[in-house]
Chain A
């Protein structure tokens, strides 16, 4: 079946430093890839999605490139802020005949940014 593996947390960074959260995936399909962010007491929020290989997604200073050859989708940010503290999830989904849009998530990476 499908699977997503991402950097095990927790990750603690100082404000202003760079972030990389690794994500790799396994699927027999051609998936759309996602990064979600979850704050305490809330459901996951879509950060961005990338449906096509070799394309980049970005939002709020975060970015990731869909690398089909390496089956990777690493999340990066050049300079993190305290407000970026949250759990980040890499996820995939694919559509077979218009009937399957369920998301498969990685285990999540807890990021804490200290001032």
Chain B
């Protein structure tokens, strides 16, 4: 079992550029969660999909951030017009349908916006 795969592991963008982060959940897991981790705010929930459908995006900033899950094997988090305050580690987690509380995290993508 390869675990949750996140690519790239590190991404550096210039202010105003777009960043797309990829997540491959554990095979057979039907739920995908995105979190953001910073020194100041800690771990914050962004959004959640179950069976590819968006369920809760209450943590997503209203502008510039979007997430999709086009198929069972991957989800993307897109940030348009990146700003320095978007610099963070973005974590993806997945879980089984019958154990949605047990979330398995990937290693994260460290995004640095210059």
Q: With A43-B91, A43-B93, A43-B108 given, is the CB distance from A103 to B102 under 8 Å?
A: no
Which residues of chain A are within 8 angstroms of B42 by Cβ–Cβ distance? Answer: 105-108
Give the interface size class of chain B: 20 to 34
The answer on a CB contact under 8 Å between B101 and A43 is no
Q: With A46-B102, A99-B55 given, is the CB distance from A105 to B107 under 8 Å?
A: no
Q: With A99-B56, A101-B101 given, is the CB distance from A42 to B33 under 8 Å?
A: no
Tell me the complex Cα distance, A44–B4, Å: 12
The answer to whether the Cβ of A45 comes within 8 Å of any Cβ in the partner chain is yes
The answer to whether the Cβ of A104 comes within 8 Å of any Cβ in the partner chain is yes
Interface residue ranges of B13-69 to A (CB < 8 Å): 31, 33, 35, 42-45, 48, 55-56, 58-59
Which residues of chain B are within 8 angstroms of A43 by Cβ–Cβ distance? Answer: 4, 91, 93, 105-108
Which residues of chain A are within 8 angstroms of B95 by Cβ–Cβ distance? Answer: 101
Give the interface size class of chain A: 20 to 34
The answer to whether the Cβ of B100 comes within 8 Å of any Cβ in the partner chain is yes
Which residues of chain A are within 8 angstroms of B7 by Cβ–Cβ distance? Answer: none
Interface residue ranges of A33-89 to B (CB < 8 Å): 34, 41-46, 49, 51, 89
Closest chain A CB from B52 CB (angstroms): 15
Which residues of chain A are within 8 angstroms of B58 by Cβ–Cβ distance? Answer: 102
The answer to whether the Cβ of A29 comes within 8 Å of any Cβ in the partner chain is no
User: What residue of chain B has the Cβ atom nearest to residue A91's Cβ?
Assistant: B43
Tell me the complex Cα distance, A100–B54, Å: 11
The answer to whether the Cβ of A93 comes within 8 Å of any Cβ in the partner chain is yes
Q: With A46-B102, A89-B43, A106-B42 given, is the CB distance from A101 to B31 under 8 Å?
A: yes
Can you list the 4 inter-chain pairs with the closest CB atoms, starting with the nearest? A43-B105, A105-B43, A102-B45, A101-B100
Given A100-B56, A108-B42, 18 more A-B residue pairs with CB atoms under 8 Å apart are A34-B101, A42-B105, A42-B107, A43-B4, A43-B105, A43-B106, A45-B105, A46-B103, A89-B43, A95-B101, A101-B95, A102-B33, A102-B48, A102-B59, A103-B33, A103-B35, A105-B44, A108-B43
